[in-house]
């Protein structure tokens, strides 16, 4: 098949990750979510634990509430004192994402990958969303919370994703103009979301895209 990359941003509970997994399995291509951190670690020489630790700190310390530091492809080297700063960790992650886009067809979840790859002609960016009730129903299947506690949990997750996206891109995470395709998973269901993405790929990249 052609070397295309599908990036998927998603609201918590929308099933975007499930859609991504189903799509990757159906096409027989790699699916990158948590595995991406391991790849970045191997390529940068920075421990995987530090990437995970930084992610947790960003959720708690309000770092992402600061003035945006929009990714401009600048990457600091190991000799720089800010080599392991949160913004440079993002830049290193972006380097890995760009390498993947140049070398293999794949599905990438989150990480503002749509922005990182905005100038790549072989990329289809997708945003998966759904109404509140559907999000709560799906989230309740994997989280121990209920009612208001579940709503607060989902709101925190989406706020982190929104703040993360804005900090690194300067754009609103939920703005449809950031993406090639926006899908309401409550109306389509996960299988039809996969079909919609495949259909869009054929229109965008040609009928032989998956051959």
Per-residue model confidence as pLDDT tens digits over 41-100: 999 999 999 999 998 888 877 778 777 999 999 999 999 999 999 999 999 999 999 999
Q: Which of 100, 72, 99, 103 is nearest to 88 (CA)?
A: 72
Indicate the DSSP class of residue 173: T
Give me the domains of the chain, ranges plus CATH numbers.
Answer: 5-205 (3.40.50.300)
Q: Phi/psi class of residue 15: alpha, beta or left (left: φ > 0; alpha: ψ in -120 to 50)?
A: left
Q: Which of 161, 66, 148 is nearest to 115 (CA)?
A: 161
pTM for this prediction: 0.95
Which tens digit of pLDDT belongs to each residue from 88-103? 999 999 999 999 999 9
């Amino acid at each position: 098949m052609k070397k295309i990359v599908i990036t998927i941003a998603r609201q918590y509970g929308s099933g975007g990750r499930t859609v991504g997994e189903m799509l990757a399995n159906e096409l027989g291509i790699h699916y990158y979510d948590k595995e991406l951190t391991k790849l970045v670690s191997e390529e940068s020489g920075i421990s995987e634990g530090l990437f995970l630790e930084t992610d947790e700190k960003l959720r708690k310390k309000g770092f992402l509430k600061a003035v945006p530091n929009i990714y401009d492809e600048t990457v600091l080297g190991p000799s720089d004192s800010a080599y392991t700063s949160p913004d440079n960790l993002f830049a290193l992650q972006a380097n890995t994402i760009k390498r993947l886009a140049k070398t293999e067809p794949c599905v990438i979840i989150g990480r503002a990958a749509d922005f990182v790859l905005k100038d790549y002609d072989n990329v289809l960016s997708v945003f998966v969303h759904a109404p509140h009730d559907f999000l709560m129903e799906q989230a309740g299947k994997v989280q121990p919370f209920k009612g208001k506690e579940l709503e607060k949990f989902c709101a925190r997750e989406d706020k982190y994703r929104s703040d993360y996206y804005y900090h690194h891109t300067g754009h609103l995470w939920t703005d449809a103009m950031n993406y090639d395709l926006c899908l309401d998973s409550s109306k389509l269901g996960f299988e039809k979301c996969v079909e919609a993405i495949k259909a869009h790929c054929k229109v965008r990249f040609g009928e032989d895209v998956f051959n």
